[in-house]
Amino acid sequence: MSSPETGTTDTTDTTDTDSPTDDVAGEEPEAAVQTDQIREELLGEITELLGDDLVASHIEPGRELFIRITAESWLRSHRVFRDELGFKFFEFVSAIDWMPSPFGKSEDSSVDVGTAVTTVADPGEIETGYAGGDTRFQVFSRLVDITRSLGFTIKADIPDPRDHEGPSVESIVRVFPGANWHERETHEMFGVRFDGHPYLEKLYLPTGFEGHPLRKDFPLLARHVKPWPGIVDVEPMPDETGSDEAGSGDEEGDDQS
């Protein structure tokens, strides 16, 4: 099954369904309650090890465990997960910008009119995902215990990198060397700095490029200057062109010839 936030797959499904056995006549049966003993036990272990550094959690039964920790414990917690809990397989590190885009949805045809950058008067309130959040930006990672085919997602709130100088969160390269390029990409695309990273330089963009393309307030000017062909030049479906009638005419023509 796939995680709704990360797109990753966890092969273990430990969902138990507890359904009521006695139904009272004339009453609707209670909704089935899903439990996940393996992930609940894992959450209990994490809670005991992290203490106050664990801010919030959420279990999708049979699918995924999400935990939110303090940014100050980001490096320390990953070391605990590796050494104390046996989660030694690193999948990824990335970030999320939860701010609604002030430019609306790029797939909406209204942004393809004219060349001026279209802004939304009220883009809406920030809504975060599983395990919640208190800031616009979050970093997140995923670790797996291969022996148990079990993984979980770790998240942490970080302040807007533009509001302060210095790094936003500690690098976990010292714990998981494979995080090196992941942190570089996250820094490049979201502007999140990782304290202690050995070489936090660009991977994709030119050296002099300014801005961070995956922030919601970064305008994709090419989308506003040139209409998006996938929206403007949509060809009608066959059933919208009277293809049946046209086909009948072709067949008659063939008979006459």
What span, in angstroms and rounded, lies between the C-alpha atoms of 148 and 144? Answer: 8
- How many angstroms separate the Cα of 144 from the Cα of each of 24, 64, 130? 44, 11, 19
pLDDT in tens, the chain (257 residues): 444 454 444 444 444 444 444 444 555 555 566 889 999 999 999 999 999 999 999 999 999 999 999 999 999 999 999 999 999 999 999 999 988 777 766 555 454 455 455 666 666 777 888 998 998 899 999 999 999 999 999 999 998 766 655 458 999 999 999 999 999 999 999 989 999 999 999 999 888 888 888 888 877 665 555 555 555 555 667 775 555 444 444 444 444 44
Q: Which long-range contacts (CB under 8 A, 24 or more apart) does 222-226 make?
A: 223/106, 223/111, 223/112, 224/103, 224/111, 224/115, 224/116, 224/117, 224/118, 225/115
- The predicted pLDDT at position 18 comes to 46
Amino acid letter for position 57: S
| Whole-number Å distance between alpha carbons of 140 and 182 | 11
Domain ranges for the chain, please list them.
35-252
Count other C-beta atoms under 10 Å from residue 97's C-beta: 21
* Second CATH level (architecture) for the domain 35-252: 2-Layer Sandwich (3.30)
Task: Give the pLDDT confidence score for residue 242 in this predicted structure.
Answer: 53
Contacts of 52 (CB under 8 A, 6+ apart): 70
pLDDT score at 224 = 58
Residue 173's CB is within 10 A of a number of other CB atoms, namely: 21
